[in-house]
Amino acid sequence: MTIDPELLLNFPIPDISQRVTPRDVAFYALSVGMAQDPTDPRQLDFVDQHRQLHALPWMALVLGHPGFWLTDPRIGVDAVRLVHGEQALEQHLPLPVEGEIVGRTRVTGLVDKGAGRGALLYMEKQVLDAASGALYATARSTTFLRGDGGFGGPTGPVRRPPPVPGGPPDFVVELPTRPEQALFYRLNGDDNPLHADPAVAAAAGFERPILHGLCTLGVVAHALLRTLGDYDATRFRELQLRFTAPVLPGETIRTEIWRDGSFRARVAERNVMIVNHGLARFAGAGASP
């Protein structure tokens, strides 16, 4: 297959309307590992519908999800080999715990890295209130199309990530994942079989199904919320990161954080870097371990 760049850049991704319920909010938080410490009431605020429930800001990444539309054979993408490369999220308003939202996704760029080197696909999704049109969040992502370079498309511009800080981190937070976590997380709407089917994972070059990149982001963002936001989700403003290696469900994610909001993360058991070039911003000063 060969990419049809004109079709890909102008692909008509439909708007997705979605009803958000308190159950959805609680399930998402549980699916990214929140409240594994049931004695911490700050974490219970994101999962217990009998408390004053709060939505995690990065739930915006799964709301109004347009589905795995890159499998459309007209586009020509090798959908088995694609991976999530980068993700950014900006929160404009706190997400509702209950209400109707619309997810509006569009392709914003395509970069041909050359034959054998793959391609970069840039996308943006806005999450809006269905009634008023108010903008809750803007998500920007880079998908690495590993099997699709050399189609004669544009060679730039390529987004530059934030710099990696020097010196040791100011805080280190370790959070576990669960062996079945990808199976829970995919119920949020991302049903790519790479995260569930061992045969598909093997065909993509992995020893077994891997954790969704956005689930990894959820675990890392939890560490940031604990350290930089004191579990106050209203203080979150934005984050960006680059995925560098996959997590196997059941591994421990160690997030290294600097006071200026820079961060990176690695799998503790294998000492493999999984997230790099991270930068987060929370309103207010100070951080806590």
Question: Is residue 89 assigned to a domain?
Answer: yes
Question: Is residue 111 assigned to a domain?
Answer: yes
Question: Is residue 252 assigned to a domain?
Answer: yes
- 70 vs 225, higher pLDDT: 225
Mean pLDDT across 222-248? 97
Task: Report the alpha-carbon distance of residue 261 to residue 40 in Å, rounded.
Answer: 24
As for how many domains the chain has, the answer is: 1
pLDDT of residue 157: 86
What are 199-215's pLDDT values in tens digits? 999 988 899 999 999 99
Report the CATH number that the domain containing residue 49 is assigned in CATH.
3.10.129.10
Task: Report the alpha-carbon distance of residue 248 to residue 233 in Å, rounded.
Answer: 27
pLDDT of residue 288: 46
What are 89-129's pLDDT values in tens digits? 999 999 999 999 999 999 999 999 999 899 999 999 999 99
Asked if residues 171 and 227 have their Cβ atoms less than 8 Å apart, the reply is yes
Question: Is residue 289 assigned to a domain?
Answer: no
- 15 vs 73, higher pLDDT: 15
What are 251-283's pLDDT values in tens digits? 999 999 999 999 999 999 999 999 999 999 999
Task: Report the alpha-carbon distance of residue 247 to residue 241 in Å, rounded.
Answer: 15
Residue 220 has pLDDT above 60, yes or no: yes
Asked if residues 174 and 103 have their Cβ atoms less than 8 Å apart, the reply is no
Question: Is residue 32 assigned to a domain?
Answer: yes
Q: How confident is the model at residue 156 (pLDDT cuts 50, 70, 90)?
A: confident
Asked if residues 136 and 151 have their Cβ atoms less than 8 Å apart, the reply is no
Q: What is the pTM of this model?
A: 0.92
Range(s) of the domain holding residue 223 = 5-282
What does the mean pLDDT of the chain come to?
93
Question: Is residue 288 assigned to a domain?
Answer: no
Residue 289 has pLDDT above 70, yes or no: no
Question: Is residue 251 assigned to a domain?
Answer: yes
Question: Is residue 287 assigned to a domain?
Answer: no
